[in-house]
Amino acid sequence: MELAKVKRDEVARVCAALGHSLRLEAMTFLISQPHGGAYVSDLVSHLSRAQSTVSHHLKILVEAGILAMESRGNWGWYQVVPTKLADLREYLLMFGLEAPHNAAGALI
């Protein structure tokens, strides 16, 4: 598979993970916390969803590389991985105002 397609699939995966209001809310909550992260139980309270539902969404975000999980005893500490989103922002530059109409010529 071409490199451009690999990259595109990766970006699509990240965007799909971001494409759900509840997951964005979880991320916003995480960065708002004093230490920049939180436990699953905190998110369950804040999001008002079943614990299994919250874990499911967290898994999607982790698999997309957007969140990182760290085990602390049997608590799971989650936080946003800023670099992943920085990568996405860079990719989106391709479509940006700065980009000439054929900037992606080499990427097709």
Provide the binding-site residues for DNA, judged by CB under 7 A: 16, 20, 22, 39-41, 44, 49-53, 55-60, 69, 71, 73-76
**Using DSSP, how many helices (H) and how many strands (E) does the chain show?**
5, 3
| Under rule CB under 8 A, residue 50 binds its own copies | no
Q: Are 66 and 84 in contact (CB under 8 A)?
A: yes
* 13, amino acid identity: R
Binding-site partner at residue 73 among its own copies, DNA, none, CB < 5 to 8 Å by type: DNA
Q: List the x/- string, 57-86, binding to its own copies by CB under 8 A.
A: -----------------------x-xx-xx
In the complex, what is the shortest distance from the CB of residue 57 to DNA, in angstroms, rounded to a whole number?
6
Question: Which residues are within 8 A (CB) of 64 and not within 5 positions of it... i.e. 6 or more apart?
Answer: 13, 14, 16, 17, 18, 84
Tell me whether residue 1 or residue 74 sits nearer to its own copies (CB atom).
1
Q: Which residue from 72, 73, 74, 42 is spatially nearest to 58, judged by alpha carbons? A: 42
Sole binder of its own copies in the list 1, 31, 49, 62 (CB under 8 A): 31
Tell me how far the alpha carbon of residue 105 is from its chain's centroid.
Answer: 28
| Under rule CB under 8 A, residue 28 binds its own copies | yes
